[in-house]
Amino acid sequence: MQRIIINADDLGLNNQVNEAILHYLETGKITSSTIMASGEAFCDAVKIAKQFPSCSFGVHLTIDELTPVTDSTVFEQCGLVKDGMFVKNAYKTLRYKPEIEEAIYSEWKAQIAKILDSGINVSHIDSHHHCHTYSFLPQIVNRLSKEFGINRVRLNLYSPLLFKFRQKDDSLMLEHSDMPQTSKSPSGSGIADALKRHIGRKRTNIYLKHHFTTTDYFCSLRYFFANESLTVRFGTIELMCHPGHPSYVMETQLLNNIPLKGKDLISYLNL
């Protein structure tokens, strides 16, 4: 029987997100969630997590949104932080330097420690916008995994055909996520860039599966809902969702109708 983990990202981000995740934990539609250590509703997130001992609660590492937990001048120097806030997607422009690695290591260590100190048994590691899978950052996760004894880690998004959804006239539209969203056919350079990202994601997942305990496959709830037949060969799958986010209303609605017949709903505690 195929085993499914449904993980709600961003617990602690704000009260709206927390309330939505609480609802789906109570109804049994999700079995796992990951906590943002610097979220404005962190304390409430801890209270929620402690109500569901059979569910898994991990850390949602971030270096591209919210405020840092640590105070490092390196972040401003390399462009990761501006006006006291992490800059979205700035990590994608980083060039490896030992001092940058150490600053991110210290920041993520502090985020994990903050959640552990609150009394939460951190079950697994993932990250905001999948930053833990980028460039040299998986090696930092490897260090932290060994230090804290947290061996379960989320995979990168990877699929033979990776789609994303958009809402138009109340219908689901499938688009290739790596292609420019225009009416024109993708250019040769666009296809080459997509292929490069595709190969990079595959290599990252090979590294993650070698060093950590992972599911066999990871995708968004929306992708799974529309492409279930493409995922039947995987024994364990993690599905990502975002209850409470205004931009994920349609995805959240799918939680009420996800096809789980013949599947076993588990958490990261069962891996």
Q: What is the pLDDT of residue 192?
A: 74
Looking at residue 155, what DSSP letter applies? Answer: P
Helix, strand or coil for residue 244?
coil
pLDDT at 171: 38
Tell me the pLDDT of the chain (271 aa) as tens digits: 999 999 999 999 999 999 999 999 999 999 999 999 999 999 999 999 999 999 999 999 999 999 999 999 999 999 999 999 999 999 999 999 999 999 999 999 999 999 999 999 999 999 999 999 999 999 999 999 999 999 999 999 876 544 443 333 333 433 333 323 334 445 556 677 767 777 788 899 999 999 999 999 999 998 888 888 888 899 999 999 999 999 999 899 899 887 778 899 999 999 9
Confidence (pLDDT) at 170: 36
Give the number of C-alpha atoms closer than 13 A to the C-alpha of residue 125, restricted to the C-beta side.
Answer: 30
CA distance 114 to 120: 9
State the pLDDT at residue 159: 60
Q: What is the pLDDT at residue 226?
A: 82
Residue 75 near residue 99, CB atoms below 8 Å:
no
Return the closest-CA partner of residue 252 out of 29, 65, 64, 3.
29
